[in-house]
């Protein structure tokens, strides 16, 4: 079996993993949460307005302050939305899985024994065996 075909099989296995399934369910719940989508849309609009105001030569500091406060409020409401809380937890779990897979592949590519190499769950300081920062 060639390496690309094996990688595709690994991809299929990842998509069967409970962490991937949980992530997909949480993503769908977020997409279908109209209140959350409205908050995200409002957040994006306020952020665009803030960027536009900041770029003006005659900046309105009161408007900038009000927009900044609105953005912080919207962000807090978005991040505390129950669906977003679940999504972030599921996303973090899936990212951890992918990080562990990447670490094993990287260690093996560096000559370590595939059966005994150990993944780290924190930053060791060595980028050579890292699957990426999260």
71 within 8 A of 43, measured Cβ to Cβ: yes
110 within some domain: no
79 within some domain: yes
How many structural domains is the chain composed of?
1
100 within some domain: yes
78 within 8 A of 44, measured Cβ to Cβ: no
Average pLDDT over residues 33-60: 96
Backbone dihedral angles phi then psi of residue 118, each to the nearest 5 degrees: -110, 135
Q: Give me the CATH number covering residue 17.
A: 1.20.1500
109 within some domain: no
94 burial (CB, 10 Å; 0-12 / 13-18 / 19+) is buried
pLDDT above 50 (res 36): yes
Average pLDDT over residues 99-126: 87
Average pLDDT over residues 72-89: 98
54 within some domain: yes
Q: State which residues form the domain around 100.
A: 3-104+115-129
Nearest to 123 by CA among 112, 108, 133: 133
Average pLDDT over residues 86-96: 97
134 within some domain: no
14 within some domain: yes
């Amino acid at each position: 079996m060639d390496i690309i075909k094996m990688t595709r099989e690994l991809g299929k296995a990842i998509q069967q993993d409970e962490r991937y399934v949980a992530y997909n369910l949480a993503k769908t719940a977020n997409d279908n949460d109209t209140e959350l989508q409205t908050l995200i849309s409002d957040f994006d609009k306020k952020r665009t307005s803030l960027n536009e105001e900041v770029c003006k030569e005659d900046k309105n500091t009161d408007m900038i302050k009000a927009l900044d406060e609105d953005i912080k409020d919207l962000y807090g409401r978005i991040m505390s939305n129950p669906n977003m809380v679940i999504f972030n937890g599921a996303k973090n779990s899936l990212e951890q899985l992918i990080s562990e897979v990447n670490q094993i592949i990287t260690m093996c590519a560096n000559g370590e024994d595939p059966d005994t190499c150990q993944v780290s769950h924190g930053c060791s300081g060595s980028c050579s065996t890292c699957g990426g920062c999260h």
